[in-house]
Amino acid sequence: MIGIIDYDAGNLKSVEKALNFLGEEVIVSRDRAALLHADKVILPGVGAFGDAMHNLKKYELDKVLHEIAAMNKPFMGICLGLQLLFEYSEESPGVEGLGVLKGKILRIPDKQDLKVPHIGWNSLKLMNNGTLFQGIEDEAYVYFVHSYYLKAEDETIVKAATDYGTVIHASVEQGNIFACQFHPEKSSTVGLKILNNFAKLNKEEK
């Protein structure tokens, strides 16, 4: 069973729908026991970094997320969910992120020929043998919607990058932690393959 964390953020239903399409059992919850019982956990989200951290703390989900991160339980952040895993974001000065991973969230620089927010399909440069990208070709296209991007402190955790006025660390993996800035649930067959790779983690051990 895959637990989707409900903290009043958008995009929960589209992730749930994609996983159901793949035949996965899904629960959308903010209950600590239910999330800790799940085999895997996903933190989706769209919206503002500061508001999201406020809601996570309001429901004490920040504590649950740290518990999950400390377990050998596959955990995946999507879009805003990726950003929240890091230390801070320029979007919300003074607000601390979860700090599960080290790095900073920066605003995409303004350039004359590029619109911010970045909305649309971009190709991925795959690197460092990412688990989520097994069976996916380099330069595959995925769908982004964001104004802020990740610059990871340790580039060895970066498994995919894209270029949109600057180099964007589009996906990271460290231990049981996985995260994507793009939306796999909106990225057609490539995105479904990424979600399926996540869903199949650890199943061979059971």
- Extract the runs of DSSP E, i.e. beta strands, from 84-191: 88-89, 103-107, 118-123, 125-126, 141-146, 148-152, 158-163, 167-174, 177-180
Q: Which of 16, 91, 173, 185 is catalytic?
A: 185
Q: Which of 16, 24, 79, 146 is catalytic?
A: 79
Q: Which of 118, 146, 169, 183 is catalytic?
A: 183
- 183 catalytic? Reply is yes
- 79 catalytic? Reply is yes
Cis check for the bond before 74: say yes or no (omega within 30 of 0): no
- 185 catalytic? Reply is yes
Buried b or exposed e, range 146-169, using 16+ CB within 10 angstroms: bebbbebeeeebbbbbbebbeebb
DSSP assignment of 158-188 equals EEEEEESSSEEEEEEEETTEEEESS-GGGSH
- Active-site annotation, residues: 79, 183, 185
